[in-house]
A and B are shown apart, each in its own frame.
Chain A
Amino acid sequence: DGGITQSPKYLFRKEGQNVTLSCEQNLNHDAMYWYRQDPGQGLRLIYYSQIVNDFQKGDIAEGYSVSREKKESFPLTVTSAQKNPTAFYLCASSIYSPDTQYFGPGTRLTVL
């Protein structure tokens, strides 16, 4: 069953703690993306990676970090430097550019 998985679905963390969100895909896609979704603001790009061991900042990368050590995995770390981390985080992938992006189910992060 091909697709994108994100875990966990819900995540709670205390303020000041770093937290890592998982994103795995078995679609053999080269490109992967992280978005943040806030009510009334649509989706905003955090980071993207077009190939293993390479990634670029999106529009709102401050306070986030990523790695792309394997083609199928693109974890996102929300650091304590992110001022407003509570949000819904979506991971996506695509075969190549330009092409349709496929989205995972998302992780809802709440920082208490």
Chain B
Amino acid sequence: AQSVSQHNHHVILSEAASLELGCNYSYGGTVNLFWYVQYPGQHLQLLLKYFSGDPLVKGIKGFEAEFIKSKFSFNLRKPSVQWSDTAEYFCAVNAPGGATNKLIFGTGTLLAVQP
């Protein structure tokens, strides 16, 4: 069965620090990869996604993620975080070609950025 691991459950950074959140998945075939973000009191929204092509994908608000197939990883990065990046971040995976568009989510990483 597919699974997604986010090893960092809580991350605390100061403003301007660099961010990298880990995401690993277990599935040997073709995958679609997503990062979603949930800001306090707001909807869960898409940060970025990878379906195919360039493994380095750029999303909203200066975020990017790199798909490394050999490592089954899709880590999220931002060179310089802001206080407004305080949120919970979820990595998700699905396997296209199956009968459903079933997303498997990681357990989330709560990021707190201190001003």
**Would you call the interface of chain A mostly helix, strand, loop, or mixed?**
strand
Interface size on A, residues (CB 8 A): 27
Binds A, one of B13-21, B65-73, B75-83, B104-112: B104-112
Number of residues of chain B lying within 8 A (CB) of chain A: 26
A2 at the interface (CB under 8 A from B): no
A105 within 8 A of B: yes
Within 75-109 of A, Cβ neighbours of B (below 8 Å) are at: 90, 92, 94, 96-106
Q: Say whether A56 contacts B100, CB under 8 Å.
A: yes
Q: Min CB distance, A98 to chain B, in Å? A: 4
A97 with B43: in contact, given A40-B107, A42-B105 (CB under 8 Å)? Answer: no
Contact among A58, A97, A100 for B34, CB-based, below 8 A: A100
Question: Does B61 lie at the interface of the complex (its beta carbon under 8 Å from any beta carbon of A)?
Answer: no
Query: Taking the complex as formed, is B74 at the interface, i.e. its CB lies under 8 A from any CB of chain A?
Result: no
Given contacts A42-B108, A97-B96, contact A103 B45 (CB under 8 A): yes
A53 proximal to B (CB < 8 A): no
B32 within 8 A of A: yes
Chain A contact residues, CB within 8 Å of chain B: 31, 33, 35, 40-45, 48, 50, 56, 58, 90, 92, 94, 96-106
